[in-house]
Amino acid sequence: MSDDTIRCDACPVLCMIAQGRIGACDRWGNFGGRLTRVDPITLFRKVTTEAGEVTGFLARSDWDGGMLPDAPVFVSGVGSGTTYPDYKPAPFIVSSRHDDVDMVTVVTEGIFSYCSFKVKIDTDRHLGPEQATVRCRGEAVGHVTTVEYGSQMLSLGGVHHLTGGSRKEGRVTCDTMMDLGNRKPVELQIDGGARVVVQAGAAPVVNGVEEQRMRVGCGSATIGIFAQQWFGHVDEVVVVDDHITGVLTEHQAGRFLGLPPSGIRIRGRKSTPGRYFQVADPGTGWGGTDITDPLSIVAGFDAVIARPGLRLLMVSTTGEDAAFFVLDEALRMTPAPMPAGVQAVVERIGENCEPALCSVLFLMGAGGSLRAGVTENPVRLTRSIKDLLVRVTCGGAPVYVWPGGGITVMVDVTRMPADSFGWVPTPAIVAPIEFSMRLADYAALGGHMDRVRGVQDVLRGERVRMLGWDGLNPWPLEP
């Protein structure tokens, strides 16, 4: 190396960085012969007034953008740097006071190979068969997992895609994960299924069409919700759904209302009265099936029971697809104008559907050597988290801590600051994580007490980015 080149030890790549240049991760550089973070560390400020908790710029009309002396401050892991190779304490171990209690927050950016994103896509559309491979730019980056109520679910990333395949697969997987975490749109192709654009907090786009609604329920649930509102306007309702297609007069709700049987025969496998499975194949048509013609699931009518003039509504679980029919003398379903009373209930279905949304949750295992940056006895940190003595946050956002061994946490990326995620070219994901606790508890678990710094010391000695607190998140230092 030349005299002005330094070696970066922030990740296993160990870049050699010349003066004025940055490393492969775009997060560390050589400035003045010193290894320096490119991004400032992110801090949050909260101000309490008689009207409640607000951000600093709303609390005072004369606020000039500077730090308010009486504002509680939380130091997040965003931009803090890492502890790799984890033989040294975390970059920031910060003391503060909350309600006259001495607190400490251990702050770092972890390097995670054992991590993934769980993506919930609100749509009835069939995106692909369970266990199908999900690809980005042609590379496998995850798979389709079990369908949940009104949503399709994907599992993306993970150590096997990051490091277990080709180098290109690892790079593309890392790019996909980082974009998802930073709330950018990502286009995915599912083997044997749909092309879908996913972005945290935005509606999914399936095969080029933006989804509008999450279904109000399965076909049976839709019957149960709206049966009484249909009463008197129709003689039969069929709610088309890939999971459970509902038939009003056979359903318990229709029987409760005293509706006589219509004699309709539905294709598929009957489960319980008024509930049918497998009426069609999964797809992007009516109710998540592959049909565009609702009559294709009707096998006919029982001539002994059915009668001419019978009024029949066929509708999807979102109300986006609906058709009205009247039986003619030959018991054939004849299209007819939809009565206003029936149309009103169809619109009510749509009104009760929530907007379609993509939810992106980051799932990571922090049970490895990262803990050495917190304490000399890592198992005590794990136990203290399980005993609720330590609060874990990611960029200040609350997390769900999974039960069982290790520190496995899950966080909604929309609750984190923008651009919280980075990467290192191993490849692996870089994400912020904070451990907050009473100062006495930190000492008891064997923390690095000689590295504790006050908040004001951080403000004086570091480049910082100050953000207002997101009021939807609990303040991390509160009980």
pLDDT at 327 over 70: yes
pLDDT at 60 over 70: no
Instruction: Give residue 300's pLDDT.
Output: 94
Q: pTM of the full predicted structure? A: 0.89
In this predicted model, what pLDDT tens digit does every residue of 284-297 receive, in sequence order?
999 999 999 999 99
3-state helix, strand, coil in the chain (%, to 5): 20, 35, 45
* Region of poorest pLDDT, from 28-32, 83-87, 351-355: 83-87
- pLDDT tens-digit readout, 113-160: 999 999 999 998 999 999 999 999 999 999 999 999 989 999 999 999
Query: Does residue 332 sit in helix, strand or coil?
Result: coil
Give the Å distances, CA to CA, from 166 to 111, 140, 163, 227, 356: 20, 10, 8, 55, 35
At 53 the pLDDT is 46
Cβ contacts of 452 within 8 Å, gap of 6 or more: 93, 94, 95, 104, 439, 442
Q: What is the pLDDT of residues 249-273, one digit of tens each?
A: 999 999 999 999 999 999 999 999 9
Cα–Cα distance for residue pair 202/199, rounded to 1 Å: 5
For 409, residues 6+ apart whose C-beta sits below 8 A from its C-beta are: 363, 364, 366, 392, 394, 399, 400, 401, 402, 433
Alpha-carbon span 147 to 67, nearest angstrom: 47
Distance CA 405, CA 390 (A): 16
Domain ranges of the chain: 6-108+366-398+431-468, 219-351
Share of the chain above pLDDT 70, in %: 94
How high is the mean pLDDT of the chain?
90
Alpha-helical runs (H) found in 158-249? 159-163, 167-181, 219-230
Q: With 50 as the cut, is the pLDDT of residue 54 above it?
A: no
| Better-scored residue on pLDDT, 336 or 60 | 336
CB 38 within 8 A of CB 28: yes
**SS3 of residue 348 by DSSP:** helix
Sign of CA dihedral 68, 72, 77, 81: positive
9 pLDDT more than 90: no
- pLDDT for 32 equals 87
- Give the residue-averaged pLDDT of 180-195: 97
**What pLDDT, on a 0 to 100 scale, did the predictor assign at position 460?**
87
* Confidence at residue 214, expressed as pLDDT on a 0 to 100 scale: 94
pLDDT, residue 205, reads: 97
Name the residue type at position 305. I
Q: What is the pLDDT of residues 213-246, one digit of tens each?
A: 999 999 999 999 999 999 999 999 999 999 999 9
69: pLDDT strictly greater than 50: no
What angle, 0 to 180 degrees and rounded to 10, lies between the N-to-C axes of helices 340-351 and 219-230? 140
Mean pLDDT in residue range 70-91 = 81
Q: Report DSSP letters for 406-457, one per residue.
A: S-EEEEEGGGSPTT--EEETTTEEEEEEEEEEEHHHHHHTTB-GGGEEEHHH
**Beta bridge partners of residue 118, listed in sequence order:** 155, 361
pLDDT tens digits along 358-405: 999 999 998 777 888 999 899 999 999 999 999 999 999 999 999 998
